[in-house]
Structure 1
Amino acid sequence: MEKLLFSSLIMVSMAITSISCDDETGTGGASCFNGIKDGTETGVDCGGPDCGPCATCDDGIKNGQETGIDCGGPDCVPCTGLITKSGQITADETWTSNNIYILAGKVVVEDGITLTIEPGTIIKGQKGTGSLSSALIVARGGKIMAEGTSESPIIFTSIDDNIQVGQKAGTNLNESNNGLWGGVLILGYAKGSFKGDVTEVQIEGIPAGDTFGLYGGDDDDDNSGVFKYVSIRHGGALIGEGNEINGLTLGAVGRNTVIDNVEVVANFDDGVEFFGGTVNASNLIVWAQGDDGLDIDQAYAGTVTNSLVVLGEISDHAFEIDGPEGAYQAQFTISNTTIIGNGVTPGGEYADYRSKALGATNNIYAYGFKESSDVELDNNGVSQNFLDGKLTFSGWEVVGFDNSIFAEKVAKDQDGNETESKIILNPDFTERAAAWTTEVMQGSQTVGADLSQFNWTYAKAKGAF
């Protein structure tokens, strides 16, 4: 299609003789920076004697003025285009907001390379599963500088989305459309706790043969760049049985990386998942994910603060927390977070703490959950960590609070079989749950997220909260 369009534009330009644009724009009129040779040369000013009319922008994209406007007029703006990206990025480059970028398969920012993405830029992932799933991957040593703004967020979405340049949302997809492309993965050299005490492993969602999927190391100050005011929508493509790509995957990302104001909507798997690492994250919002909202694994040692999880119809847990897999131990912190239940689905729960989870979950405001929803401590290792004060909770305010819901879940072993739990046997759990949970009326909470931080999001515009 692009070749046909290009050929048509060349034929049009050859059929029109060169004219001077002085009568319409005066000297120094708008320039033709659309990268198309218009019968004279690319980038020639319309005020010069050799100016030929610019090719019209018939890509169906509104360019700030009107579709199809010629560069001979005073309101001419550069044409926009669709730019397809695939494979490795081997030199620094910038993606600009006047184009839409198509991810054709996996696009990898290699070690030593910086990808800069302008505010307002739209990136669309092609369909595909397995090895053909599309994703943007920042490999270890690579850097992404994606600094959107509240007015001009950077948007990752599906090629099925009819959103166009200059828009914040399309009209044909909603929160129920998921798994239409992959997601975004950022990988670093910080520490993680892995089986066998190895220092690096392959990230979930990337086939083992793709070495750019490795993460882990010993540099907790590692810097993978800035990821700010970014919305990720409709992802989570399947790459194997029970293995999907998260909306945003952070593998051993270091603390000098900035993760702030990131939205994940309608991802088939988890919203944001942390695999080890030390990066701090703030103002995260996850809506209508297929699995868990915020997921922590492999001794993540950072802090997640002022975040929001809104469960959808098929969502599982707001939080899923796993502990270290090797000898290295570190503790996470989640604080000042609001979680909103779906009230209907069997799997819509507050949280699931598993595999010797270590850390603190503080100042949580929860509402909209059904009466049977609970906080699960899924094995005796987790239960013991709770009793030993290594897994702590404080300042939970719950609408419809009943502290028995925090004790009624029977623990499970690694195979999913129910087992006795020290917490169930120990009445201290119910007593302690009463100490860190309080029943509140909706709207009277004193903890949780500052939701005004999410006014820029797609979720807010669609009435998710």
Structure 2
Amino acid sequence: MSSFAPDGQDDDSKNARFVSLLWTLKRAVDQAPPGSVPGVHYVHFHALRKDADYRDDLLGKMLESSDSGLRSLAEEVVAFSAHIHQGDSDSSPLDRDAVPLTRPVSATAVGSPPLDRGPAAGKGGVKALLLMLILVSLGVGIYVASATGLLQRMIQVRVEGSLAQDTHWHSGSTYRLSGLVFVEGNTVLTIEPGVRVIGEPGSALIVTRDARINAHGSAQDPIVFTSASPVGERHRGDWGGVVLLGNAPVNTPVAHIEGIDAGDPRGFFGGQADSDSCGILQYVRIEYAGYEISKDNELNGLTLGGCGKGTILRFVQVHQGLDDGIELFGGSANLSHVVISGAADDGLDWDRGWTGFGQFIVIQQDSNAGDTGIEADNLDSDHDAIPRSAPTLSNVTIIGGRNPAVGQRGMVLRRGTAGMLQNVLITDFSLEAIDIRDRSTVEQIEQGALRLEGLVFAGGLKDWLFEVEEGDGDDDGGFDEASLLPVDVGHEAIIPKRLLTHAGPVWTAVDFVPEYDERLVRLAVQPPQGEFWDEAASFIGAIRPGARTSWLEGWTDFAEN
């Protein structure tokens, strides 16, 4: 039962102030330089409000920070928490559905005018706060103007059915998906930085082929798609995931995305518009997705069908999915600064004629689940279908789960795929580093349409990189994968030691920086030229070896649940 007293204006003001203090704390930690709070890179605000253990652990780390401002803020929260509990040891303002009532709460933390933190903000302000808190307890999402003149925003907003007109999801709010939510027609769904989208079991967000998504987060305020379950109870497959459909070419005459009923026309994708845009995903995390719709039929964390080169996918993490992390069905969408962590099947999967670009891609497989880092196909039913899958990837790190009991491969290239893969670091896999399958794929290598350059293999769990295939096990017409390594540098491209030394189950952003080894620079090839590419990234792997910081910091999260 809520402990808000309708007549207790002082209590209501204290509760509102306490939540504002927590929001200020979150923003201060998120925007602090890396390492300011040891072991903390991002603060989960929901857990900060609801989980006392999480909150106490964070406050303890902040009290040990070398940043005097963070220490002072932690001391203020601890002192105020003790004050608000005085005489009421059985209740806490965090045991109820209290929420932040405004985003800009501190000029020092977020560069905005501070709120009045006095015991009351005036009679009208208290009434407005009380009204909003009561409405939150009813699960209503609305906007209320406070006495300060700031727009107050409340949580949660339930979303179901179809979005058929331009829609805006606002910072500081949480949107709860119920069932399959379709963005239809030429609708644009705009999502502001800091928005959380939580998915109930069986839910997914599907942007149909004439609609677009504009999800533009920031390193300080990423947009997070995650499970509706509480922190600590989230698991792969809690909800469906994100599906983007477009009008770019695919190599089948009829293309309908998996996971959507075959009789639903909203699942079709593909066309002739190579420059088509499915929208923008930037500084976005997608977590605990892959809901099993039927036996062996799960949605991927992020699925793209026929998305063209106008689609922007930058700084995207897909974490702990039940199926593939990211799967691209045709199209020409480009990927930049992408992290796929803990997928239960493949990390990155493409087929049906994907021809896009990708640079700075990290794929990390779980120690207890997962198949292949990259699984690449053209088309199962016709290996020579046109357009042929032929992406260009540079600066890729593929990390196995380091568990000999779980069979995992670095890359499987099959069914006639072409492409260019260069500056790839493959490490810690229990099976082959690279497995070429099907004579049609070997032909692409022989014709120069499938090339692999600048490869380094490190820390394998076996004393061989490529399995010798004989008899019925020969699935590539006798092709020797070892021939992919140039004779003059082949031995140098194999580094027995681990370049990524992290040993625990939960990774952090800095754990993905490889130890410096000069071969990771000397054996690299020049990245492609063009507007998309960072031509200065003349090293092997997604992150510069020996770097003190990485592009993963501040917006990624690798929590197990």
TM over 0.5: yes
Describe the shift of the 1:346–1:90 C-alpha distance in structure 2 as closer, same or farther (beyond 3 A).
same
For 1:118-170, what per-residue CA distance to the aligned partner results, in whole angstroms no more than 9, with x for missing partners?
A: 1000001101xxxxx2100110110111000000000000110x3xxxxxxxx
| Structure 2 residue matching 1:385: 3-state secondary structure | helix
Structure 1 residue 328, shift from structure 2 partner: 2.9
Aligned: 1:439 with 2:494: yes
Aligned: 1:357 with 2:417: yes
Residues 234 and 266 in structure 1, CA contact (< 8 A), matched pair in contact too = yes
- After TM superposition, the structure 1 = structure 2 runs for residues 83-232 of structure 1, keeping only pairs within 5 Å, are 83-127=157-201, 133-160=202-229, 162=230, 171-173=231-233, 177-194=235-252, 198=253, 200-232=254-286
Alignment match, 1:449: 542
| Structure 2 residue matching 1:235: 3-state secondary structure | coil
For 1:151-190, what per-residue CA distance to the aligned partner results, in whole angstroms no more than 9, with x for missing partners?
A: 0000000110x3xxxxxxxx4146xx20100000000000
| Structure 1 residue matching 2:440: 3-state secondary structure | helix
Describe the shift of the 1:458–1:328 C-alpha distance in structure 2 as closer, same or farther (beyond 3 A).
closer
Describe the shift of the 1:231–1:432 C-alpha distance in structure 2 as closer, same or farther (beyond 3 A).
closer
Structure 2 counterpart of 1:181, one-letter code: W
Structure 2 counterpart of 1:203, one-letter code: I
| Structure 2 residue matching 1:57: 3-state secondary structure | helix
Question: Quick one: distance in 2 between partners of 1:251 and 1:91?
Answer: 22
Alignment match, 2:473: 418
The structure with more strand, counted as a fraction of residues: 1
Question: Quick one: distance in 2 between partners of 1:114 and 1:76?
Answer: 26
Alignment match, 1:397: 456
| Structure 1 residue matching 2:551: 3-state secondary structure | helix
Alignment match, 2:19: none
Alignment match, 2:482: 430
Alignment match, 2:15: none
Structure 1 residue 89, shift from structure 2 partner: 0.3
For 1:13-64, what per-residue CA distance to the aligned partner results, in whole angstroms no more than 9, with x for missing partners?
A: 9x99xxxxxxxxxxxxxxxx98xxxxxxxxxxx9898995441526889xxx
**Equivalenced residues, count:** 393
Alignment match, 2:297: 243
Residues 264 and 272 in structure 1, CA contact (< 8 A), matched pair in contact too = yes
Question: Quick one: distance in 1 between partners of 2:325 and 2:261?
Answer: 20
Alignment match, 2:133: 57
Residues 110 and 138 in structure 1, CA contact (< 8 A), matched pair in contact too = yes
Structure 1 residue 391, shift from structure 2 partner: 1.6
Residues 124 and 147 in structure 2, CA contact (< 8 A), matched pair in contact too = no
Q: How many percent of aligned residue pairs carry the same amino acid?
A: 28
Gaps of 5+ in 1: 17-32, 35-45, 62-69, 128-132, 163-170
Describe the shift of the 1:450–1:47 C-alpha distance in structure 2 as closer, same or farther (beyond 3 A).
same
Alignment match, 2:441: 382
Alignment match, 2:372: 317
Question: Quick one: distance in 2 between partners of 1:145 and 1:266?
Answer: 24
Question: Quick one: distance in 1 between partners of 2:184 and 2:221?
Answer: 27
- After TM superposition, the structure 1 = structure 2 runs for residues 230-379 of structure 1, keeping only pairs within 5 Å, are 230-312=284-366, 313-324=368-379, 325=382, 326-344=385-403, 345-370=405-430, 372-379=431-438
Structure 2 counterpart of 1:87, one-letter code: G
Describe the shift of the 1:418–1:58 C-alpha distance in structure 2 as closer, same or farther (beyond 3 A).
farther
Which residue of 70, 82, 91 maps to 2:156? 82
Structure 1 residue 434, shift from structure 2 partner: 4.5
| Structure 2 residue matching 1:145: 3-state secondary structure | strand
Structure 1 residue 81, shift from structure 2 partner: 1.8
Residues 429 and 460 in structure 2, CA contact (< 8 A), matched pair in contact too = no
Question: Quick one: distance in 1 between partners of 2:147 and 2:164?
Answer: 39
Structure 1 counterpart of 2:551, one-letter code: Q
Question: Quick one: distance in 1 between partners of 2:361 and 2:369?
Answer: 20
Alignment match, 1:20: none
Structure 1 residue 209, shift from structure 2 partner: 1.8
Structure 1 residue 111, shift from structure 2 partner: 1.9
For 1:71-97, what per-residue CA distance to the aligned partner results, in whole angstroms no more than 9, with x for missing partners?
A: 988799825221111111011110112
Residues 287 and 459 in structure 1, CA contact (< 8 A), matched pair in contact too = no
For 1:237-262, what per-residue CA distance to the aligned partner results, in whole angstroms no more than 9, with x for missing partners?
A: 01122211001101110111111010
For 1:379-408, what per-residue CA distance to the aligned partner results, in whole angstroms no more than 9, with x for missing partners?
A: 222222223322211101111479994542
Question: Quick one: distance in 2 between partners of 1:434 and 1:229?
Answer: 38
Residues 84 and 101 in structure 1, CA contact (< 8 A), matched pair in contact too = yes
Question: Quick one: distance in 2 between partners of 1:101 and 1:411?
Answer: 54
Question: Quick one: distance in 2 between partners of 1:217 and 1:47?
Answer: 59
| Structure 2 residue matching 1:453: 3-state secondary structure | coil
The structure with more helix, counted as a fraction of residues: 2
Question: Quick one: distance in 2 between partners of 1:309 and 1:279?
Answer: 18
Structure 1 counterpart of 2:173, one-letter code: N
Residues 383 and 423 in structure 1, CA contact (< 8 A), matched pair in contact too = no
Gaps of 5+ in 2: 10-99, 102-120, 138-143, 500-514, 522-539, 545-549
RMSD of aligned residue pairs (Cα, Å): 3.5
For 1:244-289, what per-residue CA distance to the aligned partner results, in whole angstroms no more than 9, with x for missing partners?
A: 1001101110111111010011000000111100111101101110
For 1:298-356, what per-residue CA distance to the aligned partner results, in whole angstroms no more than 9, with x for missing partners?
A: 11010111010111020111100001443333511121011111111432110111111
Describe the shift of the 1:147–1:347 C-alpha distance in structure 2 as closer, same or farther (beyond 3 A).
same
| Structure 2 residue matching 1:431: 3-state secondary structure | helix
Question: Quick one: distance in 2 between partners of 1:314 and 1:453?
Answer: 26
Describe the shift of the 1:376–1:432 C-alpha distance in structure 2 as closer, same or farther (beyond 3 A).
closer
| Structure 2 residue matching 1:81: 3-state secondary structure | coil
After superposing the two structures, state which structure 1 stretch, 142-151 or 391-400, moved more. Answer: 391-400
For 1:91-124, what per-residue CA distance to the aligned partner results, in whole angstroms no more than 9, with x for missing partners?
A: 1110112221111011111121000001000001
Structure 2 counterpart of 1:292, one-letter code: D
Describe the shift of the 1:337–1:420 C-alpha distance in structure 2 as closer, same or farther (beyond 3 A).
closer
Question: Quick one: distance in 2 between partners of 1:53 and 1:399?
Answer: 60
Residues 201 and 214 in structure 1, CA contact (< 8 A), matched pair in contact too = yes
Question: Quick one: distance in 2 between partners of 1:73 and 1:351?
Answer: 59
Question: Quick one: distance in 2 between partners of 1:209 and 1:255?
Answer: 28
Question: Quick one: distance in 2 between partners of 1:403 and 1:433?
Answer: 18
